[in-house]
Chains A and B, each alone.
Chain A
Amino acid sequence: MRRSLIALILASALARGQAPKLPPLEQAAEEFRRLTREMGLRPGSPRRAARAPGAGRGAYHGRLYHNLRNDILDAVPHEIRQRGGQKNLLRRNQFGFSVSGPVRIPKLYDGGRRTFFSLNYEGVRERISRSYLRTVPIEPERRGDFSLTVDGSGAPLPIFDPSTVRPNPLYNPSQPVSQDNLEFIKDPFPSNRIPDSRIDPVALGALQYYPLPNASAGPFFRNNYFIVSPETNTADGMIARLDHTFLEKHRLSVSYSFTNGLSGSARLIDGPADSAPADREFTNRRGAVEHILTLSPQTVNTASVEAQTSISENVSGQSGWPSRLGLRGVEDSSFPRFDIANYLDMGRLTPSGRTARNVFTFTEALSHKRGRHSLRFSSQFSRTQVNTFLPYAPSGAYFFHWRYSSLPGIVNTGLAFASFLLGGPEQADLALVPSPSYFRNWTWTNAVQDVWELKPDLTLSFGLSLLAATPRVERYDRQSIVDLRVPNPSNGRPGALVFANRGGFGRAFQPSAVKPQPYFSLAWNPRGNRQSVLRLSYGMSYQGYPIYNGQWGTRGFTGHPYFSSPNPFLEPAFRLSGGMPPPPRPVPDLSADAANDTDANVLDSSGRLPRYQSAGISYERQVSGGIVLTGALGVSWGRDLFIGNSAVRLNAVHPDYLSLREQLNDLALNRALRPYPQFFEIDVFSQWPGGRYRRDAVSLRAEKRTGQGLSLSASYEYSRQFDDHSGPYGRQDQFNRKNEWALTAWNNPHRLSFSCMYELPLGAGKPLLNYSDWRGYLAGNWSISAISTVASGEPLALRAQFNNTGGVLQTVRVNPVPGAAPRVPNPSPELWFNPAAFSHPPDFEMGSGPRTHPFLRGPTSQNHDLSVSKRFPIDQERSVEFTASGFNWLNHANWTDPDVVIGPASAPNVNAGRIIGSRGGRVVQLGLRFSF
């Protein structure tokens, strides 16, 4: 009817010689049809029309940019200024481009409607200074003169001659060892000076490459080496992507990216003895293909395949250094690793090596909406390969402690550096790695999910996924572990080396695991009020078996000779000048006792995997002024978390044996008391499922957004997180996990954040400086963006200065002093907490304090970043934008944590409770970007 009417109007108008006059809506609709045809927005439009500027699909967009950082723009960091430094070298240039648009190949292909590409490139050239404060021996100490050396309280520290050790005929075994009841006698060096003839030639040779003090942060002669050295960073990378639509219902997306880079670490020592991490070369490649098929408006299927490889290569290998130093018994390669307790180390642990990590992932997902239910079925299969060759300490690692140069059994005597000069390592080891390892595993997750719109104001969402995870295998079955259920042939005790695919063992040492992962959530508008939303959620998930880099778990195929002092107070593992003893076993050695007298590699074979659970409730409400307020309560907890050697010690001597006191220093007795005496320690390589945690949090958030380009958000969170494993110092009591339950080492209970983005109301068309001439061009198009965070400090982990427990305890905590308040009235860097509230436990006793203190915390930290941008429009599509960003723009100094080491009453650590410095400084980056 309508068409005939229009025809009639047209006919009538034409008959009268007029342009046809349609009703307004018809007129507009006709104009719509004409314009959309011209713009190429409808099927059957002329091909050329698709390129019309207004079509919204024909244009190429992108940008060119350059970001610049230079130390002349920055404030001198506080940690450098405090050491008297005036400059912190920084040269950084970051540049790149991106472009995207339709694929068009003249005369060959016009993908204006179907095929699009995008390309991003970025390059970085950087040199940036890093600063470190360490302790090195003072010049007289390097000559063996310890007459100026003092302990933590400033009292002279005596050095004893290990060559004079002898039993004390007057020793009373019924009494504890003390200065008055010595088990062994050692004579102090005359004048506390080691004669030149007694200094080990290898140590003397290494000292040529060891730096002298250059700072005096203190106290006494500690913190006397301050180094500022540049890290280098060179990288080039690109991401390319292609999207293609075909047959209306199919979409194909292909992407490829690569990056190559060199990361040169900052030197801690200028020369071959540098102990900084090795320089590394990086190569990353990633390719992905995704296909989306729209089966119907209610059904969509997505399938994707992705392959990714990341290669990291340590390139700081050297040769000939052991022979130059006169060190025998090791491969003549890089500078040996000398670990001298609190002093700056020498030599790198892994100067050379290569690891390639490849991950192949296939994902398939089907989404279907039926009535009030939206169903999603998904499946993801992921295959991981890690090909690694990472020999540890090829020239050996040598560990020096105070005991060898001390009076046996008496703390606060002896010095690790004196032990080094005497050439007496307490322990030493190295790795013998003839070939790389090729590890493999896979995970497969299948999930089903339903979102159910139960009522107009109530939506339920629930799902279940099944995680199937396989453990690690090695391509050539060159892997092994110590199985703690298998008797060792040498002593019949449990714990023997077993090999993959040999002796009745499978290719893997853990069972494949299948774990259910349910979740549930609810969103409800109370009483139908759309301004308010109440959300509830619960979820449970598992972590699959990891494959870490490194050749852990290949003992027998690789060797790891381990040498330890029979009694560190009496004699060293060996003498440096005599060289490292020959490996006790050949490589390979596929015998059940091949791991004996080493650190055993042990896996949990129960199939336990880390389990995480969380539950939360939140209430969100939009209030007047467009402000949205959200309050939330959340709790999360986990068990069987993977923990490492600092938190689990399966071969620990039971603390009950601390009553044996000095007898524990005898290695043979000490080992006999261990559950698995044929091994030194047990290395679980950060995958022992033995950790627990719980986190409770309450948070408030306010958001405000306006059409003037203003966005504000502020949030506050209060949280308490506890666990039984975090922190750098390890568990005190392996046999009492409950006693380890304490605040998580990195728990910041109060956290306040603020962020804003604002297009300033200046210039043409804006309320302020509304000029229409050139002044408006200058005044307009300014924007700012800011992020600020204030967080309370982390809990302090107080610990005893000396661990004289015969190696029974990994760490020793402090004892609280009854009646003494840990807090001080006005905490300041001079005194942050009251060290007199804590005492050093006596020898061979555990501390009774918690792993982390329940209320003593480090200083509050804050950071404020600000970015100011000015856009210069060229035309509608093109503009130039200049950006100046200030990171820590207020140049705020954040105090470092106080010294948490509590010394014994006889020699208290004078630095305990004090803060020796601050860190941070304003960093400015300038950026220029041309967008089109």
Chain B
Amino acid sequence: MTRRLHLLLLASAVTAAPARPSAPPRGRRRRIAAWLASGSAGGLEATVEGRQAAIERILSPEDGLILLLVLDMVEDITRIGAARDAAAAAIEPLPSNVWAGVLSAQDGLNVLADPSPDRAAAIAAIQNAPTTGRAGFLETVDPAARLASALARKAPVRSAVLYLTDSEVGNYREDFTNPVINYSDTRDLSRRFPDALIREKSARLAAALSPSDAPVFAVHLAFLRDRLNEAYQTGLQQIVEATGGQAWFCRNLTEIPGAVAAAFERIRSMYSICLRLPERLPKNATLQLSAPGADWQYRTRFTAKAWSHD
């Protein structure tokens, strides 16, 4: 099948006439991740702030998908093992139009395996990924989303980022825990709301990532209940949902395989709808997708601005 596709592309490349230069269409492009709960994508229309937005391309689950799997796992080897096994099990049966790349998040992003249809390489990268170091989600989610967005802009593919993370606030290099420094200061009230620093960081990142053309997903392996980590986990959800993605939180070891499988399935079934936005939109706009008999799930409010014009 792949061979036929390549031959077809080869033929098309050889025979295609040089494209005529034409005036670039006006307005910005944004790619929206959406899911079809029921019905079909035929006859899809989009309005932004009540104005018609041109749909330039709809990439469906049958189109190419670049999945960047980012591993940010440094804590309990039991959970890490469960997540590795679950990720390997989820990658194995992915259809051939899904290419998975693997990165690690400790000490910044590091490529462990390039995106490719080679499942064995991806699984080996997952199984051999480093498991020590500092938590890296907050440091790396921005470059990871930018990378995935750039891929979506470069080629007509869907792209998404999936984090498998067991990060907790105390394990970040940048200090969000606001630790007690002066033990003799018994009347310190500034630490009564320990969530302030992490809330601020999350809000800043959510705002920064909202122009992303590629959704970010996250499976958090170790749900923690203290106020600080509660704020962190809320922030993590806020960040990924700002990109159009989704987060899963595992409260138990046994939930990890299901959550990882659900994340892979969510990403696999994703549509990517490329819109040409009307001009003079507010910075943040309301989107409405509609198609006869179809039920779409998508982020209704989004930032009209993208990371780069194309």
Contacts and interface: CB of A to CB of B under 8 A. Distances in A.
Contact of B282 (A94, A245, A530, A772): A772
Nearest to B156: A24
B167 interface: no
A282 B184 CA distance: 7
Contact of B190 (A523, A765, A877, A925): A925
Contact of B234 (A284, A368, A710, A929): A710
B82 A13 contact: no
A910 interface: no
Contact of B13 (A9, A245, A376, A703): A9
B200 A374 contact: no
Nearest to A715: B225
A772 B203 CA distance: 18
Given A9-B9, A98-B175, A781-B203, A259 B184 contact: yes
B43 to A, nearest CB: 25
Interface in A60-80: 61-63, 67, 69
A494 B151 CA distance: 87
B110 interface: yes
Nearest to A924: B189
A122 B174 contact: no
A620 interface: yes
A43 B103 CA distance: 12
A525 B252 contact: yes
B283 A533 contact: no
Given A21-B13, A770-B284, A873 B173 contact: no
A230 B82 CA distance: 56
Contact of B114 (A29, A297, A770): A29
A310 B172 CA distance: 27
A755 B284 CA distance: 30
Contacts of A523: 252-254
B42 interface: no
Contact of A233 (B109, B187, B210, B303): B187
Contact of B155 (A28, A300, A764): A28
A18 B18 contact: yes
A319 interface: no
Interface in B118-176: 127-134, 136, 139-140, 142-144, 146-147, 150-152, 154-157, 159, 173-175
A905 interface: no
Contacts of A263: 184, 186
Interface in B219-263: 227, 230-231, 233-235, 237-238, 240-242, 247, 251-255, 257-259
Nearest to A12: B14
Contact of B193 (A121, A300, A456, A867): A867
B196 A711 contact: no
Contacts of B238: 707-709, 759
A100 B195 contact: no
Interface stretch (A50-58, A552-560, A576-584): A50-58
A709 B195 CA distance: 12
B173 A243 contact: yes
Interface in A858-892: 865, 867, 869, 871, 873, 876-877, 879, 881, 883, 885, 887
Contacts of B139: 56-57
A459 to B, nearest CB: 5
Contacts of B247: 707
B278 interface: no
B61 interface: no
Given A12-B13, A237-B182, A300-B77, A29 B99 contact: yes
Contact of A869 (B99, B150, B199): B199
Interface stretch (A30-38, A182-190, A605-613, A690-698): A30-38
A682 interface: no
Interface string A241-276: 001010010010000010101110000000000000
A459 B190 contact: no
Contacts of B258: 530
Interface in A3-59: 5, 8-9, 12-13, 16, 18, 20-25, 27-29, 31-33, 35-36, 39, 41-43, 50, 54-58
B108 A56 contact: yes
B149 to A, nearest CB: 11
A233 B185 contact: yes
Given A759-B199, A765-B210, A865 B193 contact: yes
Contact of A13 (B13, B84, B143, B192): B13
B212 interface: no
A236 interface: yes
A931 B200 contact: yes
A257 B181 contact: yes
Contact of B143 (A55, A248, A451): A55
Contacts of B240: 707
Nearest to B241: A707
Contacts of B215: none
Nearest to B148: A32
B107 A113 contact: yes
Contact of B97 (A25, A233, A236): A25
Contacts of B242: 707
A458 interface: yes
B39 interface: no
Nearest to B2: A2
A871 to B, nearest CB: 6
Given A56-B140, A369-B81, A783-B199, A300 B132 contact: yes
A772 B182 CA distance: 43
Given A9-B10, A294-B132, A764-B284, A42 B111 contact: yes
B252 A885 contact: no
Interface string A362-383: 0000011100001010000000
B235 A879 contact: no
B200 A709 contact: no
Interface string A446-476: 0000010100111100000000000000000
A298 interface: yes
A417 B268 CA distance: 85
Contacts of B13: 9, 12-13, 18, 20-21
12 contacts: A12-B14, A25-B155, A56-B139, A243-B134, A243-B173, A251-B132, A259-B184, A263-B186, A300-B77, A369-B81, A451-B78, A931-B204
In the A-B complex, the 10 residue pairs with the smallest Cβ-Cβ separation, listed nearest first, are A57-B108, A707-B241, A765-B284, A261-B184, A235-B182, A374-B78, A27-B155, A237-B181, A711-B234, A42-B111
